[in-house]
Structure 1
Amino acid sequence: MNQKTLTKADLAHFTGSEQWYRHGLARNVLYTEGAQYVAEHGGAYWLIDEIAFGQAESAVAAEEFQVWRLVVNTDQTATLTCDDGNDRVVFTKQIEYTDFPLPEIRFYFTNSIILLPSEY
């Protein structure tokens, strides 16, 4: 098993993206170098999947700009939410277990691209 080495300080280094990654199943979804880094170093390809597959929900797809937030609880459960950028939640999912290394992370989704807020 790979050790998760993701820290909050790592994320500050991503302020743009020169390379895009295409989601393996949701082929219309791209993600940035920062999102790839989180997936690889945080063991969170599942989180990229959740955001990509979440686009199939009509309430989610109706939002041109989305803020995805994962909050990890001390018991290793988590809540994943999507809002419209104005704190109006359009999607919520309870995660029964996660070993994601950070207590919280946010992604933006716009123009079919998943990115870190610092890459926007």
Structure 2
Amino acid sequence: MTEATAAKAERIREQLRQFTGTAAYFQHPLNPLVVYTEGVQFLAEAAEAYWLIDAIASHFVRLHMAEAMRADERLQTLQFWRLEKLDSDVGFDAMISARADGDCEPFLVGYVGSTDFPLDSVDIWVGRDAEGRWVLYLPSEH
């Protein structure tokens, strides 16, 4: 990691700590059932990672997600997603995983071939709102 990337990552981490709630939701452009908070919007903009929102949102229209929710009812209300950077020698730059809670095995794992995402990892929680939409938010916004 270069000094510039490390400095950018530290600035983003510092600013992410300031998000403790949200006053507005942003509608995902491709999935009308997905919205995200100001904290997730900031993360996507600052880290140039709108692709991460797209990656998460894309799973909510896939059969494997419906099957996972039938198999584990906890997934119908709350999910814990994580992007983790990987060592460069494994063939992928990052891994995206999703869990029903922090102590269980992921129900979904995907790999990112190449990314310049500045943080080593980031957690995004996904919950259902009263309107039935999936809301992506930072843990600090819960």
The TM-score, its normalising length taken from structure 1, stands at: 0.89
Correspondent of 2:37 among 32, 48, 61: 32
Kindly provide the amino acid, as one letter, of the partner of residue 113 in structure 1.
V
Q: Mean Cα displacement is larger for which, 52-61 or 89-98?
A: 52-61
Q: Secondary structure at the match of 2:54?
A: helix
Structure 2 partner of 1:48:
53
Structure 1 partner of 2:66:
58
Q: Secondary structure at the match of 2:107?
A: strand
Report if aligned partners of 1:59, 1:91 keep a CA contact under 8 Å in 2: no
Deviation at 1:54, TM superposition (A): 1.5
Alignment of 1:80 onto 2:96: yes
Q: Structure 1: which 5+ runs fail to align?
A: none
Q: Structure 2: which 5+ runs fail to align?
A: 129-133
Sequence identity, in percent? Answer: 31
Q: More helix per residue: 1 or 2?
A: 2
CA RMSD in angstroms comes to 1.9
Q: Secondary structure at the match of 1:26?
A: coil
Kindly provide the amino acid, as one letter, of the partner of residue 118 in structure 1.
S
Alignment of 1:103 onto 2:120: yes
State the alpha-carbon separation in 2 of the partners of residues 69 and 60 from structure 1.
17
Q: 1:93 to 1:11 in 2, by over 3 A?
A: same
State the alpha-carbon separation in 2 of the partners of residues 39 and 66 from structure 1.
19
Q: Secondary structure at the match of 1:49?
A: helix
The TM-score, its normalising length taken from structure 2, stands at: 0.76
**Larger Cα-atom Rg:** 2
Aligned pair count reads 118
